[in-house]
Amino acid sequence: VSTVPGPAALPFAELHLHLEGTLEPDLVLELAARNAVELPFADVEDLRRAYAFSDLQSFLDLYYANMAVLRTPQDFADMTTAYLARAARAGVRHAEVMIDPQAHVARGVPLEAVLEGVDEALSTSERDHGVSTALFAAFLRDRPESEALDVLHHLLGLHAPIVGIGLDSAEAGHPPSDFARLYDRARAEGLHLIAHAGEEGPPQYVVEALDVLGVDRIDHGIRALEDDALVQRLVDEQVPLTVCPLSNVALRAVDRLEDHPVLAMLDRGLNVSVHSDDPAYFGGYLDDNLAALTTSLGMTAGQRARLAENSIRAAVLPADRRAALL
Ligand code: ES4
Ligand code: ZN
């Protein structure tokens, strides 16, 4: 049975997705058993209860802990394939996904194993799921820039199948400007540049991501709304902002979905699109995020179509694939 959606479905690009954030509780337990990894959870219900967060750090603690079950190329391939199959059902036709290499290398998993498994799943995705793909390596901003530079150097030496780099993990106190050399190096290699900014960090971090790192897109960016001059700049320059509503509510950046600014941002002329971030942790995939916006914010068909088009336009796509999805 084909899972490739028919031509009637409105095509979306998923542009803000952490592969490690797609690790569903069932798969955590399956991989733990396969690899004889001891977890501090009795059963799947016990693990599910841990998926309640008070802020970004409380989520990151569980996110990094669960990665202990990822050991072999097969584990990374299984995680990635499960995501792609689910994303196809959500209406995703192109997925740009991040992986956190440092989180695995630091645990003794070789970079080669991570890349082998992820690439196996990504490279067969268009055929198997109708979802074209691109991979970004995201660097952990709460670790030193020197380590990120070492890992980027290693990735380049391996001819890793990455199209760009990102910046993620704990934002407060870790400004983009700390990673200027990393982004200079990546730019010199012709890589695309994205960074999380304005999720928990101040509007100034969005400015730094643009002016110091020279990013093509901002992941989140919702705190830019606190600075009117910055909002005007983001509108004028049409900087893509990859917004994740269920994530923002799960991590308490926004109190309730009814208060989420994404549709107001869209109507102010900002270049926003909607994505799922860490869907296994935050209550859903792209379709769940869109359904929540319809239910809680009364998203119209027109708004939904603009979100879809913005996502395709902000994607890293060959001209023929972009044209096919618009
Ligand atoms: C993340 Cl929601 C979020 N923010 C920052 N870093 C992350 N890594 C994975 N998910
Ligand atoms: Zn993210």
- Listed by start position, the domains of the chain span 12-313
pLDDT tens column, 285-315: 999 999 999 999 999 999 999 999 999 999 9
Element (H, E) at 132: strand 132-140
Q: Which amino acid is at 4?
A: V
Q: Does residue 21 have its Cβ closer than 6 Å to ligand 1? A: yes
Q: What average pLDDT score do residues 249-262 get? A: 98
Residue 229's nearest CA partner among 237, 219, 217 is 237
Per the listing, tokens 């890793």 go with 160
pLDDT at 177 over 80: yes
* Atom 4, ligand 1: residue with shortest CA distance: 169
> Residues with Cβ < 8 Å from 45, sequence gap 6 or more?
none
Question: Is the distance from CB of 76 to CB of 118 less than 8 angstroms?
Answer: yes
Question: Is the distance from CB of 185 to CB of 206 less than 8 angstroms?
Answer: no
Among 14, 57, 59, 249, residue to substitute to test ligand 1 (most atoms within 8 Å of Cβ): 59
pTM of the prediction?
0.97
* Lowest mean pLDDT, pick from 4-8, 46-50, 77-81, 119-123: 4-8
Q: Does residue 247 have its Cβ closer than 6 Å to ligand 1? A: yes
**Is 18 within any annotated ligand binding site?**
yes
* Atom 6, ligand 1: residue with shortest CA distance: 169
Q: Does residue 18 have its Cβ closer than 6 Å to ligand 1? A: yes
For the domain 12-313, what is the CATH code? Answer: 3.20.20.140
End-to-end alpha-carbon separation of the chain, Å?
Answer: 26
Q: What average pLDDT score do residues 252-259 get? A: 97
The torsion angle over the Cα atoms of residues 170, 119, 241 and 280, rounded to 10 degrees, is -60
Per the listing, tokens 């008070």 go with 54
Among 16, 20, 53, 60, residue to substitute to test ligand 1 (most atoms within 8 Å of Cβ): 60
Determine the distance separating the centroid of ligand 1 and the alpha carbon of 218, expressed in angstroms: 13
| Average pLDDT taken over every residue of the chain | 96
Residue 55 is classified by DSSP as: S
pLDDT at residue 9, as a whole number: 82
Nearest-atom index, ligand 1, CA of 138: 8
Nearest-atom index, ligand 1, CA of 18: 9
Q: Does residue 223 have its Cβ closer than 6 Å to ligand 1? A: no
Q: Does residue 168 have its Cβ closer than 6 Å to ligand 1? A: yes
Q: What average pLDDT score do residues 74-102 get? A: 98
